[in-house]
Structure 1
Amino acid sequence: MTLNGKKILVTGADGFIGSHLTEELVRQGCDVRAFVYYNSFNSWGWLDASPKDIRESLDVFSGDIRDPHGVKKAITGCDVVLHLAALIAIPYSYHSPDTYIDTNVKGTLNVVQAARELEIEKVVHTSTSEVYGTAKYVPINEEHPLQGQSPYSASKIGADQLAMSFYYAFHTPVSIIRPFNTYGPRQSARAVIPTIISQIASGKRKIKLGSVEPTRDFNYIKDTVSGFIAVAESERSIGEVINIGSNYEISIGETVQLIADVMRAEIEIETDPNRIRPEKSEVERLWADNRKAKSLLDWSPSYGGRDGFQRGLTETAAWFTDRENLKAYKADLYNI
């Protein structure tokens, strides 16, 4: 399937990954309906910062993924749905777990139910590497056991299973993309890389963090976006769960030092107890096996390995150090 000429709905288009994906689809000539979270300010989230020509080409739908009537209305007339709308912050899921079930599980039900009824050509549902929990073996392939170590990851496991059940039960053409830790311009400071960069960019040299021992497989936003498009276009991805990751493992502590080197800053790490997850909830190790993406989709990361990670961090730091961009962040506060 080629997406060019298709009407595509992107849920969560106002968010970090969603805005980048929406922009790239428009650049590739797609007809995009951007589902953004309704608010009285008429804000389109990060899409407000998109180039004027992209904003003017969008069909924007303001709604709430938890509302089945609005979701079905948004999907009506579309050929493909890329479902990214979700609550994603792990600490906030400790605080308000009910909202994660309503948004992530019920929201996904609303999407796949409407897609089934409207006979949509393709649904790409967004998962997360957090569903794997602490790695039992590495690299982590798609057969790895699922472990709900936080209310967030449990809600995403539920959403993934629900989406796939519609493929098995009703032949709804569902694919599940499972990105590992995406980073890049516009990411919320609830994630570790923007937390580090925004503090350094604000002039701080004592960087407040939680645990620095866990490892992650960081995936630059451009690679995640290309992964979404590859999954959406591939007929072979239907009924499949596919990891999108860099296949490079690095600790949080090493990541801090690499960022400091990129930003040419001498820093110290100060442990903030408020940022430390409960012991059994912390995911200690993530490392993506991306061979399935390579074989099924012919996808591979452009920012892989240490050199690729350093290039991605350089681009990310350059965006954050722009004062107009940095103004959107509160580096003094812990963002849950």
Structure 2
Amino acid sequence: MPAMACFDSAKILVTGADGFIGSHLTERLARAGAAVTALSLYNSFDGHGWLDDLPANLSGNLSLVRGDIRDPSFVRNLVSGQDIILHLAALIAIPHSYVAARSYVETNVLGTLNVLEASRECAPGRVVVTSTSEVYGTAQTIPIAESHPLHGQSPYSATKIGADMLAEAYARSFGLPVVILRPFNTFGPRQSERAVIPTIIRQALDPTCRMLKLGDTTTLRDFTFVEDTVSAFLAVAAAPSIDYGRPYNAGTGIAVSVADVIAMVSDLTETNKPAEQDCQRLRPAESEVRALIADSRRLTADTGWHAETSLNKGLAETIAWWRTRFERGKVHQSRTYMT
């Protein structure tokens, strides 16, 4: 993994910096001394998402910008003068992609195109495009290597496949130094309840919930703690020998079922609430991804990265964060998720 000193004073643009992974990545870079331009989606509430929760002592290394990656002129101005582009901005909620697919195309595909075009013109040293393990669909072989066929089993995953193919094309067609990182299911503090682990934890801790309402608990996932995923971004951003235009998986290589996670969270929170299937939380039958387990050997070979945080430790840290949210009265009504 790269020494953090290599990011000291580097000019780095993080798109999607206001989100779950993006805010952790922005925080790590700021602590390393990077000059970070952190893009959050424009809103009328004068907020920057999770960036507003970062320690005040990091503000000197951050330039907070609000805007939209769907605007090519705006993106071009942001990319100009940057050393590294870390592109995380995307629509990621799978349920909403079933009802608003066009918005996912405009943000995930065209937004990525804007980043690639701007990078082609402005020539940063490296661009990292964020993919997802969802592009593989249900595993045909386990673990999943980067050579696994791609299957768009949701509109969301289809748009991420499109973005990946654009990144590959720009590397091959124009020599753009772009890397494709495919994190598997990341979890940790700041993640919304669109994802399964925070949904389980929130309901386990919430005294108003008498049972855990969930979707399919038999699916298998490779859950990676957010700090390890952040380390994967930094690894592909800094590694001297990287294969441009090709994807890199980032996961633990360990599969657990949602039911296993329920048992672990119940043990860590000392709760014993029954689980009940909520049909509204199920994906369409042909859209459900049954298993996602990473083969990350390519990433390890080229960068030295490997996941360091056990699922149990990561869950304990995430539960502690949720307890603090409850204590501060910052927990709202539970939201629907799909794994």
Q: For this structure pair, what is the TM-score category when the shorter chain's length is used for normalisation? A: over 0.9
> Helix, strand or coil: the match of 1:235?
coil
Looking at structure 2, the residues matched to 178 and 326 of structure 1 have their Cα atoms a distance apart, in angstroms, of: 34
Contact map agreement 2:199 2:334 (CA 8 A) in 1: no
1:41 paired with 2:45, answer yes
Per-residue CA shift, 1:19-70, capped at 9, x if unaligned?
0000000111111000111111110100000000113431112110111011
> In the alignment, residue 315 of structure 2 is paired with which amino acid?
L
2:260 maps to a residue whose letter is: E
Say whether residues 1:251 and 2:253 are aligned partners. no
Deviation track 1:212-263 (CA, whole Å, cap 9, x = no partner) reads: 1110000000100000000000132241311000110000111111111111
Deviation (angstroms), 1:333: 4.0
CA shift at 1:111, angstroms?
Answer: 0.1
Q: Which residue of 1 aligns with 2:320?
A: 318
Residues in 2 aligned to 1:325 and 1:183: alpha-carbon distance in whole angstroms: 21
Equivalent pairs: percent with the same residue?
Answer: 48
Q: Partner of 2:144: helix, strand, or coil?
A: coil
Query: Does structure 2 conserve the Cα–Cα contact (< 8 Å) formed by 1:61 and 1:74?
Result: no
For 1:278, the equivalent position in structure 2 comes to 284
Q: In structure 1, what residue type is equivalent to 2:26?
A: T
Question: Quick check: 1:236 aligned with 2:238?
Answer: no
Letter in 1 for 2:312: Q
Please give the alpha-carbon distance, in whole angstroms, between the structure 1 residues aligned to 2:235 and 2:214. Answer: 35
Q: Match of 1:132, as an amino acid? A: Y
- Looking at structure 1, the residues matched to 276 and 57 of structure 2 have their Cα atoms a distance apart, in angstroms, of 44
Matches within 5 A, 1:1-336: 2-203=6-207, 204-239=209-244, 240-303=246-309, 308-323=310-325, 327-334=329-336
**What amino acid is aligned across from residue 275 of structure 1 in structure 2?**
R
The answer (yes or no) to whether the contact 1:319–1:325 under 8 Å persists in 2 is no
Total equivalences in the alignment: 332
Residue type of the alignment partner of 2:216: S
* 1:258–1:310 contact (8 Å) kept in structure 2: yes
Once residues 42 and 324 of structure 1 are traced to their aligned partners in structure 2, the CA distance between those partners, rounded to angstroms, is: 24
Give 1:145 shift.
0.4
CA distance in structure 2 between the aligned counterparts of 1:64 and 1:234, rounded to whole angstroms: 29
CA drift at 1:324: 5.4
Give, in whole Å, the separation in 1 of the partners of 2:157 and 2:240: 28
SS at match of 2:58: helix
- Structure 1, unaligned stretches of length 5 or more? none
Give the 3-state SS of the residue equivalent to 1:70 in structure 2.
helix
Q: Distance in 2 between matches of 1:310 and 1:253?
A: 14
Instruction: Give yes or no for contact 2:70–2:107 (8 Å, CA) kept in 1.
Output: yes
Distance 1:40-1:56 versus aligned 2 partners, 3 A rule: farther
Q: Distance in 2 between matches of 1:86 and 1:325?
A: 31
Checking the alignment, whether the CA contact within 8 Å between 2:186 and 2:223 is kept in structure 1 is yes
Tell me how far 1:285 sits from its aligned partner.
Answer: 0.4
Q: What is the distance in 2 between the residues matched to 1:22 and 1:225?
A: 9
Instruction: In structure 2, give the amino acid aligned to 1:35.
Output: L
Q: Say if 2:204 and 2:265, in contact at 8 Å, map to a contact too.
A: no
Mapped contact 2:25–2:230 kept (Cα < 8 A): yes
Change (3 A) 1:192 1:116: same
**Matches of 1:286 and 1:326, distance apart in 2:** 35
Residue 80 of structure 1: how far off its partner (Å)? 0.6
What RMSD, in angstroms, separates the aligned Cα atoms of the two structures? 1.4
Gaps of 5+ in 2: none
Q: Is 1:5–1:31's contact at 8 Å kept on the other side of the alignment?
A: yes
State the TM-score, normalized to the length of structure 2: 0.95
Q: Distance in 2 between matches of 1:141 and 1:205?
A: 41
CA distance in 2, matches of 1:214, 1:133: 12
